[in-house]
A = this chain, B = another copy of it.
């Protein structure tokens, strides 16, 4: 039908985007080279890189779509009436743009590109007189992990690795992190929560268990985004909101010398109101190390937001491009990288509340207590154009354990159990968060469902901030990491 083909032509790109964003991005890259030097020049540059990440992705994805279709990297949209092949694995484009920009960022983050004389730098703040080789090694090992995640994600798309086989794949991608951490004799101590200190003391050295923890974190963050998928924009928007949450958390630790100067003289005042300053503001309480860690995180998260936002433009309902596993792998790995390298993995996990909920919810199906169909995405009803919860049929009478689980989940309102009229066996809605939304809120359009998902992700992040900064004193004392 011509109408459908038209609706699937690449989403138009307003020229105003290019015209307005390029100067802003360029200014952010040039500003740190000019006097007076901003206190955190690399942060300016990272913002500039994020804007270019957005522009490049938003233009490259529709341009490369046909190439992907031609290379048979395409699929049909299961929740639509049309059969038009949609380019798949476009996450590869996102990942390539992302990693390439992070590589080009190296001189901004680690060289004295901004200044010629070292003295001014050491007076000003973040840049230290001695070259930070150690930080560069950490940065490079993170890039290597991201590269491996990209390659493995793309291999997954090309070779279609089975679910059970690919679960541990992110562990391979975390090896560079672990190796560099080990070679540099990284700290494997963790601070024990107050209620457990009578047992373990204040610090406990996890040793090899710390490495296990790091690789499990990568596995979790990668797979948890991957299994909360199936509707247009779901993977990309999750990644986008988690990245934004991490950024907000990072900003809390930054010195804010700019922006906090209130120009009272414009109002006729005599003095200017000014507070903050390098190393003395924010949650870092003057700790240069904490500021540097969160700057490191910002370097990785800002361009990720740019890339995800650019891709979401084309991945939004009705999707013109699919992310494939590549996007889930690379974004999941990026979160694991910043959580590990900037030492806020516990805070990071708080931003995954919807994913954790979805994972716990999925367990009965993942572990075979309830039959698990290959696709658990909601069911599309062509006539109404609405999504309904998809169901799994039990093939035999439920065991006592399964019956108990069905009863509990059903009582909690997470699933709906019906009885198949022909077989007399129970038929349950699938155990995913998307189906829970449809069970609780009733059938809805695909774009409404993704908005509900986005809202729940935002609500999760709000809750996370509450827990992290409102309740952490229950578990940890002032010296929080």
**Is B107 in contact with A179, judged by CB distance below 8 angstroms?**
yes
Residue of B nearest to A147 (CB): B147
CA distance A71 to B104 in the complex (A): 33
A451 within 8 A of B: no
CA distance A1 to B141 in the complex (A): 51
Residue of B nearest to A110 (CB): B183
CA distance A151 to B150 in the complex (A): 9
Q: Which of A15-23, A47-55, A131-139, A314-322 contacts B (4 or more CB under 8 A)?
A: A131-139
- A interface, how many residues as a size bin? 35 or more
Residue of B nearest to A136 (CB): B137
A106 within 8 A of B: yes
CA distance A160 to B170 in the complex (A): 28
Take A172-B100, A183-B110, A185-B111 as given contacts and tell me if A137 and B133 are in contact as well, using a CB distance cutoff of 8 Å: yes
A175 within 8 A of B: yes
CA distance A185 to B131 in the complex (A): 10
A387 within 8 A of B: no
A176 within 8 A of B: yes
Number of copies: 2
The interface residues of chain B lying within 8 Å CB-to-CB of A120 are none
The interface residues of chain B lying within 8 Å CB-to-CB of A160 are 71
CA distance A103 to B140 in the complex (A): 12
CA distance A217 to B387 in the complex (A): 56
The interface residues of chain B lying within 8 Å CB-to-CB of A70 are 159
A455 within 8 A of B: no
CA distance A399 to B67 in the complex (A): 38
A148 within 8 A of B: yes
A144 within 8 A of B: yes
CA distance A144 to B106 in the complex (A): 13
Q: Which of B103, B144, B158, B182 contacts A175 (CB 8 A)?
A: B103
Residue of B nearest to A109 (CB): B183
A289 within 8 A of B: no
**Is B176 in contact with A111, judged by CB distance below 8 angstroms?**
no
Residue of B nearest to A96 (CB): B151
CA distance A59 to B141 in the complex (A): 29
15 contacts between A and B (CB under 8 A): A73-B158, A103-B175, A104-B179, A106-B182, A107-B179, A107-B182, A111-B183, A111-B184, A133-B136, A133-B184, A136-B180, A136-B183, A140-B140, A144-B144, A151-B151
The 7 closest A-B pairs by CB, nearest first: A133-B133, A140-B140, A106-B179, A111-B183, A147-B147, A110-B183, A136-B137
